[in-house]
Amino acid sequence: MSSIRASVHGQWSSRWIFILAATGSAVGLGNIWRFPYLTGENGGGAFVLVYLFCVVMMGIPIMMAEILLGRRGRKSPVNTMHTLAAEEGLNSNWYLLGWLGVVAGFIILSYYSVIAGWTIAFIFKTGMGDFIGSNADQTTAIFSELISNPVILLFWHTIFMFLTIYVVSRGVKSGLEQAVKFLMPALFILLLIMVAYAMSTEKFFDGLSYLFIPDFDSLVDKNLFSDLFLPALGQAFFSLSIGMGAIMIYGSYLSKESSITFNCFVIALADTSVAILAGVAIFPIVFTYGLEPSGGPGLIFISLPIAFGQMPFGTFFGSLFFILLMFAAWTSSISLLEPAVSWLVENRNMTRIKAAYMAGFIAWFLGLLTVLSFNHWAFEFTFAGTIKENGLFDIFDILTSNIMLPLGGVLIVIFTSWLMSRSSTIDELGVGDNNIYKIWYFIARYIAPLGVIIIFLNTMGFFKLFSLNN
Ligand code: PHE
């Protein structure tokens, strides 16, 4: 029955388009902006190691579960959960899981768009040669000047949100294919060029060992769960776009013949390689030019421009880099808006255009809080042993990636592996891959939910993790 159900929003034209679109959703600011700065805030190698562990043991199995639900339900996440709960004879309140995702999507998009706005501003700054010959103090000053000006931040935030709304209003499939087919590989190549530059810097090996060799001494007085596992888990969910319905809705456009397992491995591999490459490109520059790895959200905007200011054709490569980063952010942001828009189209009978503008406006409006977090409303607090300087922005970021996404993910995997009938999940995953199905089933039932729950429980004194600095 469910195998012949079709999505009212259409289907991907081929299995590769799904992989491209899902990779487009996964690869974005999370890999190039968030991963390096969190690695720096959390001390390097140990964080990277735990991050990789979370991707493999929790990220991939939960991604498989989420795509499976999407493909079976073939609707917006809210309605997919509603339909599947009914089909499996379960409590109808499971649709609330869809709403958790919609709300998380709004909050993430609200700040994501502001940061994506920085990348647009940097296209022009690098393109106009602002960084030629600059040292760390100069790039720091240029960045601080940008974020201290709420009007400029608002301007670029508005432009980026408009771009997001525009694509979503036309249906995510048109346009996405070209963007991901050419721009993602281009971004990858440019990252390789950055890595080549990083190799020429004095502290290349310091950067590498910071990234890959865990410094266990630095962990001695840390709470491993709250200070290391929780942010790494959050980063795995954020980076893979899981736990909030984005990948679920993309799965709902996936044809029945495509192997979910294979797709997930390709997506996770692409996503992780981009993050690691970004780290390899950035940390040698950070050390060579005496920057603080724990510099926070400005890390790539301060470190990479030094490289662009020094390397041959740096103005060209620099603006190209920020253009491609903007596109990578764009293909992610549309997936943040899509769960809400597909629901408005299904349940409120709206046209796609109207739904996209309405939902986009809400996220844009919420984004004003992030715009102000970097200047007028900035305040400092400590979270899990790390000083956070940008008040509401940091709170939104922590709330979504460290709490809402893992919570959504755990509920998704519990629903799929404990509550749905085995025949339904075998129908989606198991065809031809009996052993892979068994491994997935075991990890999905025990390891993934327990992993997240153990991390959560050990962080239970959650509010104690926050303390106001003044
Ligand atoms: N994965 C995206 C990134 O790394 C962000 C994202 C999170 C997109 C959650 C959709 C859902 O940039």
- 145-168 b/e with 16+ CB inside 10 Å = b? ebbeebebbbebbbebbebbbbbb
335 in ligand 1 pocket by Cβ < 6 Å?
A: yes
Given pLDDT bands bounded at 50, 70 and 90, which one contains residue 212? Answer: very high
Question: What is the per-residue DSSP string for 224-253?
Answer: IIIIIIHHHHHHHHHHHT-SSSHHHHHHTT
Does the structure show a pLDDT above 60 at 1?
A: no
Which protein residue's CA is at the shortest distance from atom 6 of ligand 1?
Answer: 241
In the reported structure, the alpha carbon of residue 311 is separated from the centroid of ligand 1 by a whole-number distance in angstroms of 30
pLDDT in tens, 350-363: 999 999 999 999 99
- Partnered with residue 467 across adjacent β-strands are 382
The tens digit of pLDDT for each residue in 282-312 reads: 999 999 999 999 999 999 999 999 999 999 9
pLDDT tens figures, 136-176:
999 999 999 999 999 999 999 999 999 999 999 988 777 67
Q: What is the pLDDT of residue 3?
A: 45
Q: Is the CB of 252 under 6 A from ligand 1?
A: no
> 310 alpha carbon to ligand 1 midpoint, in Å?
31
Mean pLDDT score of the chain, rounded to an integer?
92
268 CA distance to ligand 1 middle (Å): 12
**How many C-beta neighbours within 10 Å does residue 361 have?**
12
* pLDDT (0 to 100) of residue 462: 61
Instruction: Write down the H helix ranges in 348-390.
Output: 352-373
Span 415-439, mean pLDDT? 88
Q: 23-37, 172-186, 310-324, 419-433: lowest mean pLDDT where? A: 172-186
- Whether residue 370 has pLDDT greater than 70: yes
Separation of CA 332 and ligand 1 centre (Å): 6
pLDDT, average across residues 353-374: 97
CA of 22 to the centre of ligand 1 (A): 10
Cβ 119 under 6 angstroms from ligand 1 = no
Compute the distance between CA of residue 57 and CA of residue 451 in angstroms, rounded to an integer: 8
**Contact indicator for 41, 287 with CB cutoff of 8 Å:** no
pLDDT at 468 over 80: no
| Residue 336 in contact with ligand 1 by CB distance below 6 A | yes
Predicted local confidence at residue 237, as pLDDT: 98
Count the Cβ atoms, other than its own, within 10 Å of residue 247: 28
Ligand 1 centre distance from Cα of residue 244 (Å): 10
Give the pLDDT band of residue 431 (cuts 50, 70, 90). low
Ligand 1 pocket residue status of 274, Cβ below 6 Å = no
Is the C-beta atom of 28 inside 6 A of ligand 1?
yes
Angle at 303 between CA 300 and CA 305, to 5 degrees: 95
* Residue 250 CA, ligand 1 centroid: distance in Å: 13
Q: Which band of pLDDT confidence, cut at 50, 70 and 90, is reported for residue 433? A: low
C-beta of residue 74 within 8 angstroms of C-beta of residue 252: yes
Q: For residues 202 and 208, give the distance between their C-alpha atoms in angstroms, rounded to a whole number.
A: 12
What pLDDT score does 184 carry?
85
Contacts of 54 (CB under 8 A, 6+ apart): 229, 232, 233, 235, 236, 451
Mutation to probe ligand 1, out of 167, 271, 332 (largest number of atoms < 8 A from CB): 332
123 CA to centre of own chain: 21
The percentage of residues in the chain with a pLDDT greater than 90, rounded to a whole number, is 81
CA distance 50 to 231: 10
Residue-wise pLDDT for 100-127, tens only, equals 999 999 999 999 999 999 999 999 999 9
Q: Which helix (H) or strand (E) holds 201?
A: none
What pTM does this model have? Answer: 0.95
Q: Is 25 in the pocket of ligand 1 (CB under 6 A)?
A: yes
Ligand 1 centroid, distance to 94 Cα (angstroms): 23
Strand order from edge to edge, sheet including 466-468:
386-388, 381-383, 466-468
Helix ranges restricted to H, 131-215: 136-147, 150-169, 176-178, 184-200, 204-212
Confidence of residue 180 (pLDDT cuts 50, 70, 90): confident
**Which of 76-90, 212-226, 234-248, 284-298 shows the lowest mean pLDDT across its residues?**
212-226
Measured by CA distance, the residue closest to atom 10 of ligand 1 is 241
Which residues lie closer than 8 Å to 33 by C-beta, 6 or more apart?
115, 297, 299, 300, 325
3-state secondary structure of 123: helix
Task: Quote the CA–CA distance of 287 and 303 in Å, as a whole number.
Answer: 9
Q: Which residues contact 66 (CB under 8 A, 6 or more apart)?
A: 242, 243, 245, 247, 248, 251, 409, 412
Domain 15-468 annotated CATH 1.20.1740: yes
- In this prediction, residue 470 carries a pLDDT of 59
Q: So where are the chain's domains?
A: 15-468
Give the pLDDT score at 2.
43
Percent of the residues in the chain that have a pLDDT greater than 70, as a whole number: 96
Q: Is the CB of 38 under 6 A from ligand 1?
A: no
* pLDDT at 461 exceeding the cut of 70: no
The Cα–Cα gap between 357 and 377 comes to: 27
CA distance linking residue 315 with residue 128, whole number of Å: 8
Of how many residues is the chain composed?
470
Q: Report residue 119: phi and psi, to 5°.
A: -65, -35
The number of angstroms, rounded, from the C-alpha of 291 to the middle of its chain's C-alpha atoms is 25
pLDDT for the residue 289: 94
